Structure formats: structure tokens, C-alpha cells
Amino acid sequence: AAPMFHWGKWKKRMGASASSSKRPVFDEREDVNFDHFQILRAIGKGSFGKVCIVQKRDTEKMYAMKYMNKQQCIERDEVRNVFRELEILQEIEHVFLVNLWYSFQDEEDMFMVVDLLLGGDLRYHLQQNVQFTEETVKLYICEMALALDYLRSQHIIHRDVKPDNILLDEQGHAHLTDFNIATIIRDGERATALAGTKPYMAPEIFHSFLNGGTGYSFEVDWWSLGIMAYELLRGWRPYDIHSTNPVESLVQLFSTVSVQYSSAWSKEMVALLRKV
């Protein structure tokens, strides 16, 4: 049986108060709901249910609207993750993130209205065999570095930096999305949970899980960024890791495999990748 869950608690997190006080552009008294938007077209599925392009009727501004069925959310045991994502998104705003503008609910669904980015995600571009130049990858690294630096200032570890979660806008700038498994750590705390997508996870996450070590901190997102940058330049990742690999074998792998850098890359790029 599905666990009991009181959707009344959403009222505090979803609804007009959800637009963060840092965003004076919108009237805080305005109780935004589904009727304030015109649905233009569906654009697929994300981690948070389905996604469509919408236009806010009064301002004519375009957004992406993500919506998820509440019952499904309970059945898939995703309530906590959705809560956490909302909690985090309501407090942050940065030019290289996918920002939340409104959240609300009706009887069946909950909705998040976020920045609309139509340039596709980097996984899609990798699958299309796009040849990324060093210049382009440097730009992505710089933009993600600014985003990660900002997240650190807000005490947030993203934990899932990978091509699938980087969306491009129409000018080709990168924006980080999906705070589904992000965590907040306060002064000097360390995270310990095994969370992320295995091929992009830093060694200390596996070490911490296996040996109950000292845990890990913001640096794990930089490791993921380095893996991703390598993959964009080369078309494959520096370590042959799959989601099926047992954790023990991964710890072994990091200590034995040395990363091969392409001779075609500039010294600067190799130096940069070695650092992350």
C-alpha cells in the first residue's frame, strides 16, 4: 500500500510563496496557478515527469513547465527527492543554472515552471556525434565552474553533473539542471551517501561508502565536470565504468588505471583536465 502522505504540506512549499523573495520581478501576492499559462507543446520527459513549453498569459514570457502525477510520485517513493529539489530551487538563482520561477499543484499533479532552454542537452549532442572544439569545451567548463562556485556559496553539492544534466540555450551557453539528488552541507559537514551516476562519481564517494571514511564535499562535482569535459572532447570517458560495476572494483580501478590524454589536445587543456 502507498504510504500516507499529506499533500497539505505542499501548500507551504508550492503555491505563491514558492517564488523566492529574491525575485522582485513578480508580484508576490499573485497566486499563480495552471490557468495563468497557455500550453504550447510537449517537449518530452525529464526526471520530474513530463515537460512542455508554456507561455505566461499576462507577460507572454515563455517557460518550460514540468509536471508530475502525485500518486505516481508516492508509488515511486520520490516524494523526498521532489521536496528536496523544490527546497533547493526555491533558494537559488544563477545565470548558468536552470532556475525555478513558480511551483503549484492541483488535485492530481504538481508543477514546476522553469527557464526554457531549447538548445538540447549535451548527451543529445554527444549522441549526434558533434565534434566539440577545445574552445567550446573551455566555455562549458568556465560556465559550469561559475555555477558550481555559486552552489558552493549556497552549501549545495549537486552530485549529478553529467552531459544529460547540462542544457544549452539558443546562444549555446550551458545551464545545469536536475537537483534531484543534490544535498545541502553546512560548515565543515561532509556528505557520506552513495549518490550519483557511477561513471561520473568521484573516487572518494566510493571510498566513503566502502570504508566509512571521512565522507566527501564539493570537490566531487569538479571531478564529474572533468570526466564530462574529457568525454565531450574525445567521445568517450577516461574510465570504462558502467552502472553495473560493483563499487569494490571501481575503487581498485581508480588506483590502477592511468588516464590517457589525446596528443591532439593543447597543453593548456591537458593541464586543466589534470587539475579537475
Q: Which residues are annotated as a binding site for ATP?
A: 66
Q: How far apart, in whole angstroms, are the C-alpha atoms of residue 125 and residue 106?
A: 35
Q: How far apart, in whole angstroms, are the C-alpha atoms of residue 84 and residue 180?
A: 7
Residues with catalytic roles: 160
The H or E element spanning position 123 is helix 122-127
> Residue 101: what residue type?
W
SS3 96: coil
Class of residue 263 by CB neighbours under 10 A (exposed 0-12, middle 13-18, buried 19+): exposed
Q: How far apart, in whole angstroms, are the C-alpha atoms of residue 203 and residue 96?
A: 26
169 CB-near residues (< 8 Å, 6+ apart): 117, 118, 119, 175
The rounded radius of gyration (Å) of the Cα atoms in the chain is 20
Could you give the count of Cα atoms lying within 13 Å of 219 in the half-sphere of its Cβ?
Answer: 10
SS3 191: strand
Known binding-site residue numbers: 66
> Residue 274: what residue type?
R
